[in-house]
């Protein structure tokens, strides 16, 4: 599995970036969110990648952050959601917005993405929320396991949303507990994702 590509951006068009590494150009399908973060052609770029294997093709997808890649993988695990739909969602919504929408059951936000109708949006919210429940994500219990004394509903919701992105609930709780629990849920998610991405470097 290709974890990431780092090199020179040699071509850029809507939904597509080509990164040259060691003389080989890797064509990566990208969301609009990732595309907006890229430098001009000729600049140095690093993308986290996901290789989608089909019978007749190998498609490479590139992401600006590990969180966006994790969100993409969670979305494509939902029945009826292919890579194109997942990219459309991530073009419209940041990973923390997707996670928050799922954690709160807000299918209307998900349906803002091109090609995502109300029924599919409801299925995404339901299936991913069920996955979180099966993982046993219960705000107060998770914070107790992580050694946090107490947790606001904002912090608990942030942990549930991070679990949607595939993070272990105890790990997510430990990171969220470092921030002011009075912050808005989306801000807690954003800060936690930034902190966890920094720990990977």
- Domains of the chain by start residue, with CATH: 4-63 (2.40.50.140), 67-201 (1.10.150.20)
Query: What's the pLDDT at 96?
Result: 85
| Residue 159's pLDDT band (cuts 50, 70, 90) | confident
Query: What's the pLDDT at 81?
Result: 93
How far is residue 183's CA from residue 200's CA, in Å, rounded to a whole number? 24
Query: What's the pLDDT at 184?
Result: 86
Query: What's the pLDDT at 143?
Result: 40
How far is residue 128's CA from residue 163's CA, in Å, rounded to a whole number? 10
How far is residue 86's CA from residue 92's CA, in Å, rounded to a whole number? 10
Query: What's the pLDDT at 46?
Result: 95
Query: What's the pLDDT at 32?
Result: 94
Name the H helices within the chain.
32-37, 66-76, 83-92, 95-103, 107-110, 118-134, 139-145, 153-164, 169-176, 185-200
How far is residue 138's CA from residue 144's CA, in Å, rounded to a whole number? 10
**What percent of the chain is modeled with pLDDT above 90?**
45
Percentages helix, strand, coil for the chain, rounded to the nearest 5?
50, 20, 30
User: Which tokens is 178 given?
Assistant: 């470092």
Confirm if 166 and 70 have CB atoms less than 8 A apart.
Answer: yes
Q: Enter the pTM of the model.
A: 0.77
pLDDT (tens digit, 9 = 90+) per residue, 75-118?
A: 999 988 999 999 999 999 988 888 888 888 889 999 999 989 99
Ramachandran sector of residue 190 (left: φ over 0; alpha: ψ -120 to 50; beta: rest): alpha
Average the pLDDT over 141-156 and give the result: 53
| Residue 141's pLDDT band (cuts 50, 70, 90) | very low
pLDDT (tens digit, 9 = 90+) per residue, 16-75?
A: 999 999 899 999 999 999 999 999 999 999 999 999 988 888 999 999 998 899 889 989
Residue 138 confidence (pLDDT) above 80: no
Query: What's the pLDDT at 165?
Result: 78
Confirm if 179 and 188 have CB atoms less than 8 A apart.
Answer: yes
How far is residue 9's CA from residue 38's CA, in Å, rounded to a whole number? 8
Average the pLDDT over 191-201 and give the result: 77
| Residue 152's pLDDT band (cuts 50, 70, 90) | low
């Amino acid at each position: 599995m290709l974890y990431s590509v780092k090199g020179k951006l040699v071509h850029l068009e809507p939904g597509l970036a080509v990164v040259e590494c060691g003389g080989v150009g890797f064509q990566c399908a990208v969301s609009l969110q990732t595309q907006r973060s890229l430098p001009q052609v000729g600049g140095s770029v690093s993308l986290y990648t996901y290789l989608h294997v089909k019978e007749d093709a190998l498609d490479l997808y590139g992401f600006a952050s590990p969180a966006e890649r994790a969100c993409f993988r969670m979305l494509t695990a939902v029945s009826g959601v292919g890579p194109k739909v997942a990219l459309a969602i991530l073009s419209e919504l940041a990973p923390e917005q997707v996670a928050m929408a799922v954690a709160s059951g807000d299918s209307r936000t998900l349906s803002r993405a091109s090609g995502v109708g109300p029924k599919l949006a409801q299925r995404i919210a339901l299936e991913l929320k069920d996955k979180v429940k099966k993982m046993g994500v219960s705000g107060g219990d998770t914070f107790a396991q992580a050694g946090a004394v107490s947790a606001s509903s904002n912090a608990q919701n942030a942990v549930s949303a991070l679990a949607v992105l595939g993070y272990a609930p105890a790990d997510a709780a430990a990171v969220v507990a470092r921030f002011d629990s009075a912050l808005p849920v989306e801000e807690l998610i954003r800060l936690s994702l930034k902190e966890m991405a920094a720990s990977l470097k």
